[in-house]
Structure 1
């Protein structure tokens, strides 16, 4: 693998625009954001700020390839080649490759597969990257222990868990890999104070090894503890400009 230039951004978003078409309302076009532009470098935690509904989650989903863009570029540094790849092209193979090797994501809600244990849910990203299952499962257990999930729940499917328990499984799954870019969508929203502190420590450890983090944190103490820079998404709001 080529050496990484720590002075170069891992994520470079430029001139990105997004709108939604309301097909049930005669094709009404609803603009969301326009001219979105920012970079995230190794070791930075860039926080998307601004009021609810301004487009923060939409930006995060575009960066992960869940939402298509209307215009612009989302350049992601490929961990394998160290070249910048434009995720905004929407090429499904490219999106899947970048997700496996370059971009991790902790969403607000865990999409739990029925009858799959919490250990297997957390270990799965490592298994898909070629880590032996027993090693991956052992590391998954360590992550869940750190997040104070009762060991009695490890072999149970998370679909039956409480909201906070599900979120801890979600966090463990997102943090278990070494993706150079990590997207966080309100990771501590369902957690108590003790587990919020654990997640803050985990975020700082990621930053310490050069991970580039882009996140949304409505929890002000958490945001103040981890943010290296805050971007006011209101500046990109197409609704305000319309």
Structure 2
């Protein structure tokens, strides 16, 4: 589904009246509500932080915006910066979700899901290759980002399965930052990093913002949040359990 730019204004992301619950099939179909009436917009060049205590639905909102979680109701509108056309990712069309991930939405999750026998360099380069970039060019750019994040070059050609947590996360960050997606989702990207690499990521986020990328993130690391946030949304206001 697509809508006109007049309906979405200049927002790259518009989340409208979204609700989400989980059905616990192993517990007699008990329905566990997560969020209700989620409404916000995300604009180019801003970093919006999803705040609030653990369990209110911050990561769930990120996963809904990326299409990992279906929604019960509402709309998640992603606007194409070139055409101005907005597409409803929340409608659940699998082909649309894949297209939007390729062209519009980057994502750094909390943990790297390493593909067996695929090297760190190839994992980072893959988002560029999928968009038609020459493999050699993509590998060179991937090496540059990994070097910036201080990943030892001896690890570039190895699968990340046996890497440390911090090394895996640097591969994860490099993969998410290597493209020029207009929207970038960050789920605690610095949680397992040392101070030096945390500062590198702060610089990388600022560069994205300067380039007009719209960033939506969760940062439990207060110094990172203070350094990059342009505004904060308290997800407690949307939590379906706030009255509990």
Q: Provide the rounded CA distance (Å) in 1 between the counterparts of 2:47 and 2:234.
A: 14
Q: Does 1:148 align with 2:150?
A: yes
Match of 1:195 in 2: 197
Residue 45 of structure 1 contacts residue 227 of structure 1 at CA under 8 Å; is this kept in 2?
A: yes
Q: Provide the rounded CA distance (Å) in 1 between the counterparts of 2:63 and 2:38.
A: 13
Match of 2:49 in 1: 47
Match of 1:117 in 2: 119
Residue 53 of structure 2 contacts residue 236 of structure 2 at CA under 8 Å; is this kept in 1?
A: yes
**Which aligned pairs between 1:1-242 and structure 2 lie closer than 5 A?**
8-79=10-81, 81-241=83-243
Alpha-carbon RMSD across the aligned residues, in angstroms, is 1.4
Q: Provide the rounded CA distance (Å) in 1 between the counterparts of 2:17 and 2:177.
A: 30
Equivalent pairs, count: 238
TM-score computed with the length of structure 1 as normaliser: 0.96
Deviations 1:94-151 (A, max 9, x none): 1000000000000010011111111100000000000000000000000000000011
What are the ranges of 5 or more consecutive residues in structure 2 without an aligned counterpart?
A: none
Select between 75-84 and 36-45 the one with higher mean Cα deviation: 75-84
Residue 12 of structure 2 contacts residue 81 of structure 2 at CA under 8 Å; is this kept in 1?
A: no
- SS of equivalent residue, structure 1 residue 240: coil
Residue 79 of structure 1 contacts residue 101 of structure 1 at CA under 8 Å; is this kept in 2?
A: no
Deviations 1:6-31 (A, max 9, x none): x7110000100000011111111110
Q: Provide the rounded CA distance (Å) in 1 between the counterparts of 2:96 and 2:117.
A: 30
Residue 50 of structure 2 contacts residue 234 of structure 2 at CA under 8 Å; is this kept in 1?
A: yes
Q: Provide the rounded CA distance (Å) in 1 between the counterparts of 2:60 and 2:224.
A: 21
Off by >2 Å, runs of 4+ in structure 1: 78-82
What are the ranges of 5 or more consecutive residues in structure 1 without an aligned counterpart?
A: none
